[in-house]
Structure 1
Amino acid sequence: MTSGRPATEWAWEYAGYQPAAESLRESLCTLGNGYFATRGAAPETVADDTHYPGTYAAGCYNRLVSHVAGRQVENEDMVNLPNWLPVRYRVRRDDAPPGPWLTPDSPALTAFHQRLDLRQGTLTRRLRFADGHGGHLDVEQHRLVHMGDPHLAAIRTVFRAHGWTGALDIACGLDGGVTNSGVARYRQLAGRHLTHLHTGADPDTVWLRCRTTESELRIAMAARTRVSGGGVTRDRVEHEGPRVTRALTVTLTPTRAVTLDKTVVLHTSRDPAISDPLQAAVDGARRAPRYVSLLGSHRAAWEHLWRRADVHAPGDAGRVLRLHLFHVLQTLSPHTAELDVGVPARGLHGEAYHGHVFWDELFVLPYLNLHFPEVSRALLTYRHRRLPAACRAAAEAGRAGARYPWQSGSDGREETQTLHLNPRSGRWLPDHSCRQYHVGSAIAYNVWQYCQASGDTEFLYTKGAEMLLHIARFWADAASYDAQRERYHVRGVVGPDEYHDAYPGAAEPGLDDNTYTNVTAAWVLARALDTMRALPEPRRRELFEHTALDSTELERWDEVSRRLHVPFHQGVISQFDGYGALAELDWDGYRSRYGDIRRLDRILESEGDSVNHYQASKQADVLMLGYLFAPAELAGLFDRLGYHLDDAGWQATVDYYLRRTSHGSTLSGLVHAWVLARARRGDAWRYFQEALAGDVADLQGGTTGEGIHLGAMAGTLDLVQRGLTGLEAREDALRLDPVPLPELSEYGFCVRFHDHWGVDLRVRSGRLCVSVPASGAAPIAVRLADRAVTVAPGDAHWLDLPGH
């Protein structure tokens, strides 16, 4: 099974080596700690069409210029750092020349097994090679990227000879000759980010230093190697261009295994409390404990994370949820709280989307808020530090306030590519996705959700208020008044759908009155008004003076928040103004011709057509509103805007877009599952299963190998945490409105709510248990639709759910 199989609830296993599945396995077996991560590539190999040993440090970007389609194109990439994995080996027998270097691709491979241990955060590989004379070599390898010390990683390799005695050559080192080439469609772009490579060695340590070409980020690695169990007959250091290798020859006998421990330390010039990255790396490698001690402290660090964040659900769904949580924590751990980084859409697992930060935090932070609020705050602080850049972008477009970029990287400028490649047609096409200005509303939503869940009024009244103010200011200025309709319009945007970026035949890109954009803009304006009114008077005066905000502008915010236009057609909410006039697509015809039509845009473009002509959406757009807002809140938003939205109208809208969505994004199944859990429960489970399988089964056809889909992974966790429970964490109470999902009738998790660490919520047999750990904090108010209870620290309370 190419997607692997969960051997137990804590392990993911692959039996047998399958080169065609290696890219997917490398992504799913990535190990990381929030500071850096390394793909689960074979240490015996180098980057080629099968293997890609990428290592990425959070926030490490570099910019290069490429020549594409007759144009100069500039891209900023998350840099593939030097490869610390290399451990090669070959057999010497008698006086014969050494055999070939052994890899999983060697004809001599007779057995292969790989196991990802989620509880311990380790990757174990077992390989067996035949020697052609009736004997064989067993290789067992254990790998970790330390969750306690963010700069440490280690590999232990154990060699065992069966049926022979001889020598084993081992080459163990660091490789700086890497490029960003992990995504096939980007290979026409420049990818050599590292320069000024220097290597060196100490008695048992080799080191490498380099820097990035444009951002001048200094990077250093040091690798300490120690051998036990066999006599070393050769030991020398080899410098070969950008590579440094410690070459060893050891004696191997059937009676004694040889163990090689490789301990690696990574530092960059972004790190605090160091003088020089190289000195820090070399010193760290010298001081690092032995492998057994490292493994012990690494396990302990993971155990602490699982206590705070584990989700309990039965069967395969529970196992996949735990795998998703594992990868979320490897990308965004407590170490992330110390960094200036955002949420990379594809984790630290690959190079898709160039490692950029999109709106995926909209699906990630709601989960983190209730487990690691310090990480959420840091991720929002990343956005606040780039508020000046967002204000400059708005000003350059002739707008007030802040216009955040659709794709962000190091400094907050717009990183969205101007061209994108359609691999089906081979053509480079204009990319207009930078018109997804709704990313600003996503940031505002996350500010509000974080502050509600954490009770962090200090952040809300300072950085949060500033972001809300400037995002609201942008929407108020972007809205133009139509005296005939007595409505405001927002024109020239692209919504979450992404398939539609222009009207048919239009000379200019952009759409008018995307409903998701307008409704969320109205929400931002209303929440910004609430915040301005709630500010303590001294802070309000300070902020108003600093931003030249006055009552006249607040009045416009209020007016626009009540008069933004929402288009309708055929009794349903229109995705954008004019959507209902587009042609209907022959869905059955395209499915019969192409099978998988998730990327319908690429199919139509290759035919010389455009998805802009059709009522066909890539992913949830209007239905995203049902993901962000509970039914009552969504109805209230429409009521504020002067529209009536009842259950029947929303149900009709859901049904309409279900028939017209291709699900070309891993986020689509997630959002549909969330919405259908309350609108059409019978179909929710099918979409939830699709969201769970998105990466483990690589449903998007090869994209997981380029990096996991972090938003979809975190979103499945949040679907259980908030979607099925209706959990809303507000300053005064935990509010719950559970919906029964027969296929997942039993589950549980812990959350952090204000001063309470580890509030346990369990759903079982139509009952909900809320358990509050003992502490000196005040009791928690728990509110359901039909009752309210108070749970004191040290107590548990069982509640019968409505309908049971």
Structure 2
Amino acid sequence: MTAGTDWTWEYDGYEAADERLRESLCTLGNGYFATRGAFPECVADEVHYPGTYVAGCYNRLTSDVAGRRVENEDMVNVPNWLSLRFRPVGGEWLVPDAVTVLDHRQVLHLASGLLERLTRYALGEGRALFVRQQRFVHMADPHLAVLRTEFTAEGFAGALNVEATLDGEVTNSGVARYRALDGRHLTHVHTGTAAPDTVWLRCRTRTSDIRIGMAARLTADAPVADRHEGPCATQRVRLDLAPGRTVTVDKTIALHTSRDPAISDPLAAAIDRVGRAPGFDDLLEAHLTAWDRLWRRAALDIADGEAGSILRLHLFHVLQTLSPHTADLDVGVPARGLHGEAYRGHVFWDELFVLPYLNLHFPEVSRALLRYRHRRLDEACTAALKAGRRGALYPWQSGSDGREETQRLHLNPHSGRWLPDHSHLQYHVGSAIAYNVWQYCEASGDAEFLHTKGAEMLLQIARFWADSAVYDESLGRHRIRGVVGPDEYHDAYPDAKLPGLDDNAYTNVTAAWVLTRTLEVLQALPEPRRRELLERTGLDGGELEQWEDVSRTLHVPFHRGVISQFEGYGDLAELDWDRYRKRYDDIRRLDRILEAEGDTVNRYQASKQADVLMLGYLFSPAELQSLFSRLGYRLDEGTWSRTVDYYLDRTSHGSTLSGLVHGWVLARARRAEAWMFCQEALRGDIADLQGGTTGEGIHLGAMAGTLDLVQRGLTGLETRSGALWLDPVPLPELSSYGFAVQYQGHWGVRLRLERGRLEIAVPSSDRDPIDVRLPNRTVCLQPGETYQLMLPD
């Protein structure tokens, strides 16, 4: 059961079945590393999983699966610093699954980034041990974390043994369907003592050879002893308890890896840092100050209620995964945060849903995430060459070095079979990267990035699309064949020998957009930079003419007056949706259900998630109509409305992103059903709507997307053509809220949406005025000015 205030997230009572979900949602992090919200006294088992993950720390292993050698790169579960167990002298170790828990409460304090746990263990004969713990992963110093444990004896006096451990005997085993794969990523584990109160652990990853150093300082009102057993460094203390008197133990740890800048050795750095760290109170004060700064930049002022509480929780987890510390790292956007091992910690296209929020609050973080992509541009160009194309082919799943990390086999839990995985054909990830480059530069005004690294990425992505397009004489148009769209259910035509689909509408339209925007950027480049870029990439006028042609002639299929998801979609069989809804409680993963029956979703007009409708998520109605017009198609309101209805009836929402996109699109279309899908996006992780997946890690794209829904979706906020565009479509359920954004150097541009009114205020500064484009007028706001727009009923 969840309760709490607007700034807390709370669980009352211990429920073993809910523990994995709670651990994910109570994860604490700072952008550098994060630790799941597990009980410190519990080891990894089927109930608990105390994982810790460092951003960008990957390792590659090869496993034997289904008679094949399968290589996978994983975000590594590093040594467990959290471990702290306790027992009465002569008694058993107290753990919630073996001892009666009289009371239990877990409180995540969002404002302070603090996790509080209060548990009362029954000891028999009227005796109990009350345990209160507070932990935080330091937001000011990204290499520190602290666990404070307070013990209070109730109804007895006696001694308590406490053991605090740095545990190097961990594996990646948090996702059941991956357990057939090798998860032993750590090797050369050594432990030692640095001081009477400090122990250390060092190890390295098996193939990527990342060295990890960890040091722990234990502070208590009793002598501390240590013991080293194999891959574990354990500190022990014996506490004398008296009835009603609280005894405190503080565990402070430091974590470094060899990927960190400005250190010579991660172990030496960790020992030095933990030795210099102040006590609990001073560490907490600095941590609270850092969180206060974050909330001031990112705060969302929304009315009390469930939606407001969930949005704050989502914002909290976005900030923990991608904080200002991220700006100093070479990392991408992990689709499942730093919260678990699902998707193996890989980077997909989720930045498409994350960066639009960050652009307007933490542009320095957006820039760093785009630099992650630019550093891997050479690898993307190599991938394109291997595919026989020019330009850049970015991977669907990325990790350490930018090569394609998408698995070639995946397990269907319904049938127990390992099946071919063709999702690496989702080449549209390149368009997502280009879109993020453009959106970041429009919002931030970062011309330097656009004219250098951004232009280079745009050029190579556009070059790939132009080289992928094949002219069809019979159509008089260019076509892109052999791809997979965002839907993911459909990866081939029925009974086809080769995977891939032709003319996925989302892929083709976004490819046309990339080509158009890139031509604009190249035309606007200062001449010296333009000449240097063209010489370095070998781009000539003939290619540019080809881009212009392809950007106007890419084929978009239609059937029955709607946009086809891909060529031939309308010829597929209709699915008996009622039959499957009656037979199964949950049909979100319809592909797995059909495969277990010996059938395939490729035969049906059934989609996993928004595909065609993604176009309505990326582009405003006016911009989308303009794109189709450039391609020689007429997209009027009637055609788009029919298209929305058509795919609403044929989508199973097997992705947390689907509800978000549908809610966004329906809100823009002013549909009453919009709130139902918005609620699904809001509750996706907290209610575990995907059936057990939240315990494997949060869905970061969906969380950030709900924030962007209230920031851009319902306000109609766009940053393009050097102006702020606003076209509000408030939902009755989300009609009163406010936030501040950073726009092209203006810090704290405030927008306030109240029932029937939108207010925009530009802070006083020496910056240029801001052009605000409204549905029927343009307003030029000087610094210090406020403007109010009355909304139609």
Deviations 1:116-166 (A, max 9, x none): 000000100001112212121110000000111100100000011112111
CA RMSD of aligned residues (A): 0.9
SS in 2 for 1:307: helix
Asked if residue 781 in structure 1 is aligned to residue 781 in structure 2, the reply is no
Query: 1: distance between equivalents of 2:244 and 2:687?
Result: 42
Code of the residue aligned with 1:215 in structure 2: it is S
Note the C-alpha offset of 1:15: 0.3
Q: In the alignment, which residue of structure 1 is the partner of 2:26?
A: 29
- For 1:160, the equivalent position in structure 2 comes to 152
2:179 pairs with 1:190: no
Q: 1:680 Cα deviation (Å)?
A: 4.3
Deviation at 1:743, TM superposition (A): 1.4
State the Cα distance separating 1:475 from its structure 2 match.
Answer: 0.4
Q: Which residue of 1 aligns with 2:736?
A: 746
1:248-289 alpha-carbon deviations (Å, 9 max, x no partner): 111111253110011010000000011110010001111101
Q: Which amino acid aligns with 1:550?
A: D
Q: Give the aligned residue type for 2:472.
A: D
By how many angstroms is 1:333 displaced?
0.4
The C-alpha deviation readout for 1:176-228, integer Å capped at 9, x for no partner, is 00000000000000000000000011210111000000000000110101013
1:469 matches 2:459: yes
Match of 2:604 in 1: 614
Stretch moving more, 677-686 or 180-189: 677-686
For residues 740 and 292 of structure 1, the distance between their equivalents in structure 2, rounded to whole angstroms, comes to 44
Q: CA deviation at 1:341?
A: 0.3
| Aligned residue number for residue 75 of structure 2 | 78
Do 1:420 and 1:431's aligned partners in 2 also have CA atoms closer than 8 Å? yes
Amino acid at match of 2:175: V
CA distance in 2, matches of 1:614, 1:457: 46
Matching residue of 2:125: 133
1:714 aligns with 2:714: no
Whether 2:440 is the aligned partner of 1:447: answer: no
* Counterpart selection for 1:571 from 550, 561, 574: 561
* Aligned mates of 2:378, 2:29 — CA distance in 1: 31
Could you tell me which amino acid in structure 2 is paired with residue 150 of structure 1? Answer: P
Amino acid at match of 1:764: E
* 1:248 counterpart residue number: 237
Q: CA deviation at 1:713?
A: 0.3
1:677 is matched with which residue? 667
| Counterpart selection for 2:650 from 647, 653, 660 | 660
Residue 351 of structure 2 is aligned with which of 361, 367, 389? Answer: 361
Structure 2 residue 615 is matched with structure 1 residue 630: no
| Residue 235 of structure 1, CA deviation | 3.4
* Residue 121 of structure 1 pairs with residue 113 of structure 2: yes
Report Cα offsets for 1:288-331 as digits up to 9, x if no partner.
01111111111111111111111122221111011000000000
> Which residue is 2:211 aligned to?
218
Runs of 4+ aligned residues of structure 1 deviating over 3 Å after TM superposition are: none
**Structure 2 matches for 1:328-727, cutoff 5 A?**
328-727=318-717
**Match in the other structure for 2:746:** 756
Which of 169, 181, 198 is the matching residue for 1:205?
Answer: 198
One-letter code aligned to 1:490: I
Q: Percent identity?
A: 71
- Structure 2 distance, partners of 1:615, 1:732, is 41
TM-fit CA distance, 1:793 = 2.7
1:237 aligns with 2:226: yes
Q: 1:276 aligns with which of 265, 269, 276?
A: 265
Pairing 1:145–2:137 present = yes
Partner residue of 2:84? 87
CA distance in 1, matches of 2:244, 2:149: 17
Shift of 1:731: 5.7
> Is the 8 Å Cα contact of residues 397 and 404 (structure 2) preserved in structure 1?
yes
Q: CA deviation at 1:742?
A: 1.3
Q: Distance in 2 between matches of 1:593 and 1:466?
A: 51
Equivalent residue in structure 2 for 1:52, among 49, 58, 67: 49
Give the match for residue 781 of structure 2.
791
- Partner AA of 1:38 in structure 2: T
**Alignment correspondent of 1:104:** 96
Contact 1:138 1:159 in 2 (8 A): yes
- Three-state SS of the structure 1 residue aligned to 2:672 is helix
- Residue 782 of structure 1, CA deviation: 2.0
Matching residue within 157, 173, 183 for 1:181: 173
Contiguous gaps of at least 5 residues in structure 1: 93-97
Q: Deviations over 1:454-502 (max 9, x none)?
A: 0000000000000000000000000000112111110000000000000
Letter in 1 for 2:266: P
Alignment of 1:312 with 2:304, yes or no, is no
Count of residues paired in the alignment: 791
| Contact 1:770 1:791 (C-alpha < 8 Å) held by counterparts | no
Post-superposition CA distance 1:385-430 (Å, at most 9, x none): 0000000000011100000000000000000001000011000000
Match of residue 9, structure 2, among 5, 9, 12: 12
Answering whether residue 64 of structure 2 is matched by residue 67 of structure 1, we say yes
Give the secondary-structure state (helix, strand or coil) at the position aligned to 1:543: helix
**For 1:733 and 1:498, how far apart are their aligned partners in 2?**
36
- Render the CA deviation track for 1:77-113: whole Å, top value 9, x for unaligned: 0000000001101113xxxxx1111112232321100
Q: Is the 8 A contact 1:500 1:611 kept in 2?
A: yes
3-state secondary structure, aligned to 2:294: helix
Q: Which amino acid aligns with 2:650?
A: R
Q: Structure 2: 5+ residue runs without aligned partners? A: none
User: Which range moves more in the overlay, 74-83 or 294-303?
Assistant: 294-303
Give 1:736's match in structure 2, choosing from 701, 723, 726: 726
TM norm structure 1: 0.98
CA contact (8 A) 1:414 1:434 kept: yes
CA contact (8 A) 2:445 2:745 kept: no
Tell me which residue corresponds to 1:259: 248
Distance in 2 between residues matched to 1:655 and 1:49, nearest whole Å = 42
TM-score relative to the length of structure 2 = 0.99
CA offsets per residue over residues 528-587 of structure 1, 9 Å max, x none? 100110000000000011011111100000000000001010110000000000000000
SS class of match (2:683): helix
Contact 1:39 1:55 in 2 (8 A): yes
Counterpart CA distance in 2 for 1:361 and 1:494 is: 19
Contact kept, 8 Å, 1:453 with 1:731, in 2: the verdict is no
Which secondary structure does the structure 1 equivalent of 2:437 belong to? helix
Cα distance in structure 2, aligned partners of 1:732 and 1:417: 41
Note if contact 2:660-2:705 (Cα within 8 Å) is conserved in structure 1. Answer: yes
Distance 2:35 2:224 in 1: 27
Amino acid at match of 1:567: P
What do residues 680-724 of structure 1 show as CA deviations (whole Å, max 9, x unaligned)?
Answer: 420100000000000000000000000000000000000110001
Determine the structure 2 residue equivalent to 1:227: 220
